[in-house]
Amino acid sequence: IRIPGGGRRSFYARTRREVIRRLTEARWALGQGLPVSAGTTSLATFFDRWLAVTRPRLQPTTMRAYAIGVRRLTPFLGRILLRALTPGMIESTYASLVRSGLSDRTVEQAHAVLHRVLDQAMHWGVTSRNPAELVTPPRPRRREMTALSRSQLRQFLEVTSGTRWHSLWTVLGTTGLRLGEALALAWHDVDLEAGRLVIQRSLRAARRQAGLCPA
């Protein structure tokens, strides 16, 4: 294939199928404005490419979650070639993450990121399979939520009366709103006569910044 600058890149392999796979991968990289690798692609390389391509169309919080998942997976899978990845390698990685102290829920989130990455690799024609489909991640144990009783809530509001955040605690404790929804309330969302709140926005936190998004 021709590459920017007038050069050409050739691909060699033992089978025609492997040559076609490498050629497809190279054309995809060119289409994304990324460098073409003469060899096969490692997970670390594809992670970087995937993050670069998906970043513009994702919310900052989603992008940060994906980047965290990739960062946790890379030390264990980064050097492995994309075409050589097996379910056993993935299961071993999850076991290592659990032994390192991560919760089952966190490992499950990392699995979701890896599954999404490999699905995209299939969609782009970079690989023909998704070994993550054959792996069951650790299942987090459900924790039963404990809510304040009426008397406990009343006592809490009495103790916090006159403090800076008393109004916020009152709204959260008596309406069931999410924290982001309560923080995004404006005076025109409040109808005191009717005793009604209109939820139109939610405050979304991001690193060193905050933004409003539709509820």
- Convert the pLDDT of each residue in 76-105 to its tens digit: 999 998 888 999 999 999 999 999 999 999
Q: CATH number of the domain that 95 lies in? A: 1.10.150.130
The reply to whether 164 falls in a domain is yes
Q: What domain range includes position 199?
A: 150-214
Measured CA to CA, the distance from residue 78 to residue 62 in angstroms comes to 21
Q: What is the pLDDT of residue 19?
A: 76
Q: How do 201-206 and 209-214 pair as beta strands?
A: antiparallel
The reply to whether 145 falls in a domain is no
User: How many domains are contained in the chain?
Assistant: 2
Residue in the block written with tokens 């009604």:
196
The tokens for 74 are: 């890379």
The reply to whether 83 falls in a domain is yes
What percent of the chain has pLDDT above 70? 80
What predicted TM-score, i.e. pTM, was given to this entire model? Answer: 0.59
Per-residue pLDDT tens over the stretch 171-180: 999 888 888 8
Report whether pLDDT(210) > 90.
no
Please tell me whether residues 117 and 47 are part of one structural domain: yes
Which 3 state secondary structure label does DSSP give 2?
A: strand
Beta-carbon count within 10 A of 207 CB: 8
Please tell me whether residues 88 and 61 are part of one structural domain: yes
Q: What is the pLDDT of residue 133?
A: 95
Please tell me whether residues 159 and 206 are part of one structural domain: yes
Q: pLDDT averaged over the chain?
A: 83
Closest to 51 measured CA to CA, from 39, 31, 34: 34
The confidence band for 34, taking pLDDT boundaries of 50, 70 and 90, is: low
Measured CA to CA, the distance from residue 145 to residue 133 in angstroms comes to 31
Please tell me whether residues 54 and 105 are part of one structural domain: yes
Helix (H) or strand (E) holding 183: helix 179-183
Measured CA to CA, the distance from residue 41 to residue 59 in angstroms comes to 27
Report whether pLDDT(214) > 60.
no
Cα angle: 45, vertex 47, 52; to 5 degrees: 100
Q: What is the pLDDT of residue 212?
A: 40
The reply to whether 19 falls in a domain is no
Q: What is the pLDDT of residue 6?
A: 58
List residues bridging with 211 in a β-sheet. 204
Q: Which ranges in 78-178 belong to alpha helices (H)?
A: 87-99, 104-123, 150-160, 166-175
Please tell me whether residues 128 and 154 are part of one structural domain: no
The tokens for 166 are: 């008393």
The reply to whether 92 falls in a domain is yes
Task: For helices 60-77 and 104-123, give the axis angle rounded to 10 degrees.
Answer: 90
C-beta of residue 121 within 8 angstroms of C-beta of residue 108: no
Please tell me whether residues 157 and 103 are part of one structural domain: no
The reply to whether 197 falls in a domain is yes
Please tell me whether residues 58 and 129 are part of one structural domain: yes
Report whether pLDDT(154) > 50.
yes
Q: What is the pLDDT of residue 110?
A: 96
